[in-house]
Amino acid sequence: MKNNLLRVNLVNLRDFGRGNYRQLDDYAFGSGGMVFAAPQLKAALDFADIEGVKPFVIYPSPQGALISQELIESLAHQEHVIIFCGHYEGLDERFVEKYVDLEISIGDCVLTGGELPAMIIIDSMSRLVPGVVGKSKAVIEDSFYRGMLDNPNYTRPFDWEGLQVPEVLLSGNEKQISRWRRHESIKRTLTRRPDLISRASIRDYLADKVGVVILARDENIDLRGLISLCEAYNLSRPFVIAKSHELRETIKNLYPEAKVLGSLAKLSDGQNTLCVKIFSGSRENSLHSLEVKRRCLEHEGSILFIFAQDESELLDERLEGLSSYLYESGLNGLVPLNILIGTALDRFLGKR
């Protein structure tokens, strides 16, 4: 606030109360608890409203949407947020219906008032304002930002009560350190919060070698489109597998930049390649996308996402020695290959 990065104004609801006692609440019809009355709340809202900027009105409430990093990120885009802190039984429902944009709960427990939730909301929003946290990279690496938990952290002394800092962190080897950090994040998220994986951006946590393979039946592949799609997901150019020499030559002529091979076996580095065969239509034994994401995260070697113009070839394709999983997109074979590839890449590697 001192650096003008954000402004927080406190408005005392009492100032809008009725009579000598500046009364705000009244007995709840039916239950007898105390409830904040709508006219006083409205008077406070009118006062807090800044001309020209439509405020986004929040009511912290145990019945609201559970707070999350995603929710806070979308709130951080709001220029002007007004938070109504409840007390006793809360606010008159008619005020909530008419003027509250979002109810937010900080967890499945009941507090005496909305003040602490308001501070939680303000604090987590403010961390996303550029300049509030000294090192902006730190914000990105924190838990939840990419949907994964942060790695554990250590500082001096190296030896404390018989416990040492993991050796790798002192090695000075950037590559090994970042591999260790990725690995720890994955381990923590999978054991503590596997539910997060569905909404996590996992691209940065996967081994560097992640590729797309297309089994070609003919040359009707929009390879240029696919190359830019792969670039968007930070992947190298897709591999095209064409069985016949003739088709390989045709594709190379059409797309000199293509990586064309005669068989999938050429791509594997032994046991260390995980293959995910992706079908548009339904397949028995196919995995849920969450499970595919989980196995990709657990896998330390390269990963290949395999698509085919003719999906029956996907089943025929023998992948000796490679672990291979099936995944069905649910698109029912109704979409062009490019769209299947785009949606599948987004599901597994996209930003949350």
Tell me if 17 contacts ligand SAH by CB under 6 A: no
Report which residue type is found at 219: E
| Residues binding ligand SAH: number (CB under 6 A) | 18
Residue (of 98, 114, 112, 104) closest to 39 by Cα position: 98
Tell me if 106 contacts ligand SAH by CB under 6 A: yes
β-pairing verdict for 81-83 and 102-105: unpaired
317 is catalytic: no
What is each CA distance from 265 to 213, 261, 304, 320, in whole angstroms?
12, 10, 12, 8
Tell me if 57 contacts ligand SAH by CB under 6 A: no
127 is catalytic: yes
89 is catalytic: yes
Tell me if 227 contacts ligand SAH by CB under 6 A: no
β-pairing verdict for 259-261 and 239-241: parallel
Site map (CB under 6 A) of ligand SAH, residues 163-202, x = contact: ----------------------------------------
Tell me if 105 contacts ligand SAH by CB under 6 A: yes
Site map (CB under 6 A) of ligand SAH, residues 116-135, x = contact: -x------------------
**C-alpha to C-alpha distance for 195 and 44, rounded to whole angstroms:** 40
Catalytic site residue from 89, 101, 141, 184:
89
* Encoded tokens for 237: 């150019």
Long-range contacts of 4-8 (CB under 8 A, 24+ apart): 5/126, 5/129, 5/130, 5/131, 5/132, 6/126, 6/129, 6/132, 8/122
Tell me if 10 contacts ligand SAH by CB under 6 A: no
**C-alpha to C-alpha distance for 164 and 198, rounded to whole angstroms:** 34
Tell me if 238 contacts ligand SAH by CB under 6 A: no
* Binding residue for ligand SAH, selected from 55, 62, 301, 350, defined by CB under 6 A: 62
Window of 6-14, 50-58, 108-116, 128-136 that interacts with ligand SAH by CB under 6 A? 108-116
Residue 278: helix, strand or coil by DSSP? strand
Window of 107-115, 193-201, 227-235, 243-251 that interacts with ligand SAH by CB under 6 A? 107-115
Tell me if 109 contacts ligand SAH by CB under 6 A: yes
Cβ–Cβ under 8 Å, residues 150 and 143: yes
Tell me if 87 contacts ligand SAH by CB under 6 A: yes
Tell me if 89 contacts ligand SAH by CB under 6 A: yes
* Encoded tokens for 164: 């040492």
Window of 9-17, 58-66, 223-231, 273-281 that interacts with ligand SAH by CB under 6 A? 58-66
Tell me if 63 contacts ligand SAH by CB under 6 A: yes
Report which residue type is found at 270: G
First to last CA, the chain: 30
Q: How far is the CB of 232 from ligand SAH (least distance, A)?
A: 38
Q: How far is the CB of 120 from ligand SAH (least distance, A)?
A: 9
167 is catalytic: no
Helix residue ranges per DSSP H, 67-173: 69-75, 93-99, 115-126, 136-141
**C-alpha to C-alpha distance for 154 and 59, rounded to whole angstroms:** 38
* Encoded tokens for 98: 């008419």
User: Residue 65 or residue 254: which is nearer to ligand SAH going by CB?
Assistant: 65
- The binding site for ligand SAH (CB under 6 A) comprises 60-63, 85-87, 89-90, 105-107, 109-111, 113-114, 117
